[in-house]
Every structure is written in structure tokens, then in C-alpha cells.
Structure 1
Amino acid sequence: MELIVLPCGPNSYPLRNVGTEPAVSVEIDGDGGLMRLTEHQTSKASRFNPGQSVGFWVITAGELPEMSEIRVRWEGSSGWVVVPLPQLR
């Protein structure tokens, strides 16, 4: 199982399953409201097939800390797995 975050645009990212097996019961930690999934998506997915992506964006403001990672878990993982966010320059 391998999940990665790809750059998409300013504060916008897709989380993609780049592995060869589906992930089951995927859950993305919303980090206290600093991250929002794109329209019509939920932070819990019953099945995340190879090649499938879920889009999200990160809320930014001068007084908020910059996010450099998200946490994801799925059936069979040993808890929350840290997935780094690509840094756009």
C-alpha cells in the first residue's frame, strides 16, 4: 500500500493510491480544520483503488502554522501514517 500527495495548485492537492492493491477504510485526519476535502468528498472512503485520488486543499492564513504533512490510516495500517505534502515554491 502506498499513498502519496501530488502538487496540483496553490494549496490544492490530490492524495493518490500509487500502490498495486486497494486500500480499505481509508481515513484522512483533518488536522483540526486546517484541511478541507474538495466538494462531494468525505474524509472516510470505504475503498481506495490503485490510481484513485481524493482532492483536498489546505487553509492558509498568516496566523496559522504551515502544513507540511497529512495523516492517513486504512485497514491494516499500524495507525496514522504521515504523508508529506509537496512544497511548492
Structure 2
Amino acid sequence: MTIDWSTLDWADPPAWIAAVISLGAGAIALRALRHSRMSAEASTRSADASTESAESAKISAQAAVRQAAAAERQVELAEAALKLAEESAARSSSTTKTELVTESLTGPKPPYVAWWVEHQQNQGYRLRNIGTDTARNVEVDRSRIKCVFRGDFPVAELPPNASVKILLSPMLNATKPGELWVRWEGHPGWMAVPVP
């Protein structure tokens, strides 16, 4: 309903009241319209947030599926590793059996002994067992050494990484040897060990 302001009698109080009420109703209507727009915008934002939440839930569900697949793969890998370990253990026990059979046919393996001569200072040296087994009844061939030689030989036992002190003192025409000739139990021949 519209008011024709030109036909309104300004001296008529009910017309004034109607005009004021009409203006008030218009203000309330504008306010209601503004409120309804704000409410619609809030609803739109809420719907957008719901959509984002649904997308987040979807992404989270996909991540959970990937994590479950990864966990399943880890279980498969652990089972495969266990199977390999069991097979390896079975092979090593058969290897041990093979070594025992070989040893019974050919005799025991000789101990692994290796030698190294280290220069200490001046005329002092050390004959060191750098092998993995203990050397027993270690001897040095003194007949091949022309200079003064001192050392506590024969040595009953020389464990791995252990050493025995020796002294090589060249005098006049006797020079320091270029090697020491060593033998030990289980290795009957003489073995040359270079002297630095």
C-alpha cells in the first residue's frame, strides 16, 4: 500500500499518525530486510564451511585409507623379512653341517695367523700377530739375522693383536735385516715378515 502525500491534509492528526506509523513500518521493514540479508549471508557461509568440512573429512578418509594400506604393506614386509631370516637360519645350519662334514673328511682348518713388524723407536720393534687365532710356539730364525738380535723366543702363545718386543741393533758391517723369518705350530715352514 502506498500513500499519496499530495492528498494528505497536514492539519489532520490521524494523517500524521498514519504517516509516522507508515515511516516506522518502512524502517522496520528495511531493518528486517537487512537482517534477512545478513542471515542469508551467514547461511551461505555456514554452507561453505559445511562443504569445506565435508572436503576435509573426505581428505581425512583418503589419508586413513592410505595409512591402512601402508600399515598392511609394513606387515607384509615384516613377514617377508621373518621368512628370509628363517631361510637364512636354515641355510646357515646346513652350512655348519657342511663344514663339519668337510672337516671330518679333510681334517680341521689350520688357525689363521698373520704377522706384522712395527717399528717402535730407535732399534726397538714389535712382532705382532694380526691374525684372528692364537699363534703357539712362535720362533724366529736367528741364523738369518746378522746384527744383534734380542727377543724372548720361542713364545709359547701369542693371541690375536698381541705382540712381542724385539731389538735389532746393526753393528759395523752387520745391517738390519729386511725381514724376519718366523714359524709357529701349525705352519712348519719359515715365513718371511718384512721389517720396516
Q: TM-score range by the shorter chain?
A: 0.7 to 0.9
Equivalence for 2:122:
10
Aligned length: 82
Q: Amino acid of the residue matched to residue 80 of structure 1?
A: W
- Structure 1 unpaired stretches of 5+: none
**Alignment of structure 1 residues 1-89 onto 2, 5 Å:** 1-30=113-142, 31=145, 34-37=148-151, 42-86=152-196
Conserved in 1, the CA contact under 8 Å of 2:134 and 2:158?
Answer: yes
Q: Amino acid of the residue matched to residue 180 of structure 2?
A: I
- Structure 2 unpaired stretches of 5+: 1-112
Q: CA-atom RMSD, angstroms?
A: 1.5
More helix by share: 2
RCO higher in 1 or 2 (8 Å CA, sep ≥ 6)?
1
More strand by share: 1
Give the distance between the partners of 2:128 and 2:189, measured in 1 at CA.
19
Which structure has the larger Rg? Answer: 2
Percent same amino acid among aligned pairs? 32
Give the distance between the partners of 1:68 and 1:36, measured in 2 at CA.
16
CA gap of 1:46–1:66, structure 2 versus 1, over 3 A, is closer
Conserved in 2, the CA contact under 8 Å of 1:26 and 1:44?
Answer: yes
Equivalence for 2:51:
none
C-alpha deviation, 1:79, in angstroms: 0.7
TM-score (norm 1): 0.81
Please identify runs of 4+ aligned residues in structure 1 that moved more than 4 A: none
Conserved in 2, the CA contact under 8 Å of 1:29 and 1:43?
Answer: no
CA gap of 1:7–1:33, structure 2 versus 1, over 3 A, is closer
Q: Amino acid of the residue matched to residue 148 of structure 2?
A: L
C-alpha deviation, 1:32, in angstroms: 5.6
